[in-house]
Amino acid sequence: MSDKHYTEDHEWVSMDGDIATVGISNYAQDQLGDVVFVELPDTGASLEKGAEVAVVESVKAASEVYAPVAGDVVEVNDAIGDNPSLVNEDAEGEGWFLKIKVAGAPDLSELMDASAYADEVAD
Amino acid sequence: MKPDTSTGHKGLELEEPLLFELDGRDRSGVDLPEPDLSNNRLGGLERTAPIGLPGLSEPEVVRHFVRLSQKNYSIDGNLYPLGSCTMKHNPRINEKIARMPGFADAHPLQPESTVQGALEVLDTLGHWLKTITGMPAVAMSPAAGAHGELCGLMAIRSAHTANGDPRKRVLVPESAHGTNPATATLCGYKVDPVPGNDRGRIDLSAVKAKLGDDVAAIMLTNPNTLGLFEDEVLEVAEAIHSVGGYFYCDGANLNAIVGRVRPGDLGVDAMHINLHKTFSTPHGGGGPGSGPVAFSEALAPFAPLPQVVTKDGKLHLLETKTGEAAQSFGRLRSFHGQMGMFTRALAYMMSHGADGLRQIAEDAVLSANYVLSQLQDDMSVAYPAPCMHEVLFDDTFLEGTGVTTLDFAKAMIDEGYHPMTVYFPLVVHGAMLTEPTESESKASLDNLISTLKYLADKAKSGDATHFTEAPRLAPRRRVDETAAARNPVLRWAPPSSPAQAAE
């Protein structure tokens, strides 16, 4: 999954054309423990970069998920709303959170690539 | 797990179904004739099916609730080391005073002339609280600690608004009680978290870096939630005052400093006082909280209503924004506060006296440091000694054992102890915040210490299942928190139809 970029807040983003798919990292789900609830935004919502877009709640904690890029929410993953355990099982695949349509080319330079992120969470 | 008995009872610890499960056996305690509804005037709205209220006889009702109460853990049963909660003994003299008919039967709407004694309790308790805090004003009405925070922040907001400068941010340390950021948010402020330093205190340079003329206040707990005295508190107060902000002190841990340190001398502008912690009124299911708030000279004019004042030699409740209360932010709640807690707290203060209150703080700190000193080689202390009234362990000592803080806490239940506060404060990994309080004898502390030593040894010996399967001896085994949260059963259903998960 070398096309993914990661934030310091443990979101990942993967670009496909002008559509950014966003989720939380495998490391994040492991730290959170069993995820029991995910609150997702409405489609159509317009997001600033860094805005709070979702809430993920585990048996240990509730955490906000922030938009790694600016744009409009075009799709949310209803499957994790119905079955939050998907986030634990496949955080960086089937457990994605939402898709954002970005205007123009997003600046991902501030984000980490997979190997930099792996170093970041190594300790 | 069901015990191996024919009744389901475990010795004299009696199993008890839900009240609704006891229904349906025609044993209602009230025996009324069937009404004749043939000529009713309900227009077709009469009941067509039972409404599902359980029918039980009086002894069944009594036994039901007594059996449930026997499963309770309370300070009356054993040491209760729940950190930051100050689960101290509730002296029985408090109860005796609170039950005196002149207090117990007074009604808040009685004419003032008939409740001068009750008003004197409010006034005298207020005097003690002002003396203890070294602050000139006190609001008695807040119903508990978090309500007191709300009261303090509302007064701060009123002061800034009156000044034509409402401001936007409130600084809150990362180790704060969760109620602090919640309170600031509720008051419309943006919470700006302040990190701690490597000594477990607030980082003074971070406070200074975050200061600005949009900062309304800082909310600091002292001693803080790590059980440590904020030794740069004077500098923090000076810094916040230098930009025109106010210093809110979370007084949850007053028990450690009562009679020793006056928060007013530290530059505090508002502080709530948990009567149900420091001043021994029942809590944790045993009674309502009570959170009076002391105010500095600067905030006193904005204190809420009602206020007890002396008028023509009589005590009087000032309930409107007039006179000295012209700038008050108004009422916080109905009536005057938790009267039953005021009588108990004042009884506690007067039975101990000023010197006794000072000794409370000293003994509470001594107890915690004794526990720390006896366990520092068996468990891992998060910050170097000495601590204040609570000792904070982290989970370093459990590393590699396969036992988590949660498992360790559950194993304490099997040993007959309510666990300490776990996973709080959040800034310490696998935190175990232990507050023995001054109520416990050395023998009682030694029992706790030997139990924790035993469990720490057992965890390190590789017997992880002893912990992961705990509690084994409690009335119920460990709750599956994940399943409970993912598929909550929010409504009881009759046993004939299987319990339905919430839609």
Q: Write the pLDDT tens digit of every residue in B346-379.
A: 999 999 999 999 999 999 999 999 999 999 999 9
Residue ranges with strand state E in B204-313 = 215-221, 246-250, 270-272, 293-295, 307-311
What contacts A6, CB < 8 A, 6 or more positions away? A12, A13, A25, A111, A112, A113, A114, A116, A117, A120
For the ranges A119-123, B160-164, B211-215, the lowest mean pLDDT is seen at A119-123
Domains and CATH numbers, chain B: 92-349 (3.40.640.10), 354-469 (3.90.1150.10)
Task: Nearest chain B residue to A34 by CA: give it.
Answer: B482
What residues in chain B have their Cβ under 8 A from chain A's Cβ atoms?
423, 481-482, 485-486
Give the mean pLDDT of A105-111. 83
Distance from CA of B156 to the nearest CA of A (A): 28
Rounded distance between C-alpha atoms, residue B117 and residue B106, angstroms: 10
E strand or H helix at A120: helix A114-120
Distance from CA of A83 to the nearest CA of B (A): 8
Give residue A1's pLDDT: 43
Task: Nearest chain A residue to B479 by CA: give it.
Answer: A59
Does residue B502 carry a pLDDT above 90? no
Q: Do B486 and A60 touch (CB under 8 A)?
A: no
From chain A, pick out residues whose CB is under 8 angstroms from the CB of B423. Answer: 60
Distance from CA of B6 to the nearest CA of A (A): 36
What contacts A77, CB < 8 A, 6 or more positions away? A40, A95, A96, A97, A98
Instruction: List chain A domain ranges.
Output: 4-120
pLDDT digits (tens, 9 = 90+) for B387-428: 999 999 999 999 999 999 999 999 999 999 999 999 999 899
Mutate to test the interface with B, among A29, A32, A55, A59 (most CBs of B within 10 A): A59
Q: Do A36 and B486 touch (CB under 8 A)?
A: yes
CATH of domain A4-120: 2.40.50.100
E strand or H helix at B242: helix B233-242
Contact (Cβ atoms closer than 8 angstroms) between residue A117 and residue A91 = no
pLDDT digits (tens, 9 = 90+) for A51-71: 999 999 998 888 999 999 999
What contacts B367, CB < 8 A, 6 or more positions away? B389, B436, B437, B438, B440, B445
Q: Do B482 and A60 touch (CB under 8 A)?
A: no
Distance from CA of A103 to the nearest CA of B (A): 29
For chain B, give the percent of residues with pLDDT over 70: 97
Does residue B179 carry a pLDDT above 90? yes
Contact (Cβ atoms closer than 8 angstroms) between residue B214 and residue B167 = yes
Does residue B286 carry a pLDDT above 70? no
Segment 73-102 of chain A within 8 Å of chain B by CB: 84-85
Give residue B488's pLDDT: 87
Task: Nearest chain A residue to B487 by CA: give it.
Answer: A36
Contact (Cβ atoms closer than 8 angstroms) between residue A73 and residue A44 = yes
Give residue B501's pLDDT: 47
Q: Do B486 and A84 touch (CB under 8 A)?
A: yes
Rounded distance between C-alpha atoms, residue B484 and residue B129, angstroms: 43
Task: Nearest chain A residue to B481 by CA: give it.
Answer: A59
> Burial code of A81-104, b = ≥16 C-beta within 10 A, e = fewer?
eeebebbbeebbeebbbbbbebee
DSSP state of B24: S
Task: Nearest chain A residue to B429 by CA: give it.
Answer: A31
Q: Do A60 and B423 touch (CB under 8 A)?
A: yes
**Which 3 state secondary structure label does DSSP give B408?**
helix
Strand order across the A35-39 sheet: A35-39, A52-58, A62-66
Task: Nearest chain B residue to A58 by CA: give it.
Answer: B482
Q: Do A36 and B423 touch (CB under 8 A)?
A: no
Give residue B496's pLDDT: 66
Rounded distance between C-alpha atoms, residue A103 and residue B47, angstroms: 61
> Burial code of B363-374, b = ≥16 C-beta within 10 A, e = fewer?
bbbbbbbbbbeb
Segment 1-60 of chain A within 8 Å of chain B by CB: 34, 36-37, 57, 59-60
Q: How many CB pairs under 8 A join A and B?
A: 16
From chain B, pick out residues whose CB is under 8 angstroms from the CB of A89. Answer: none
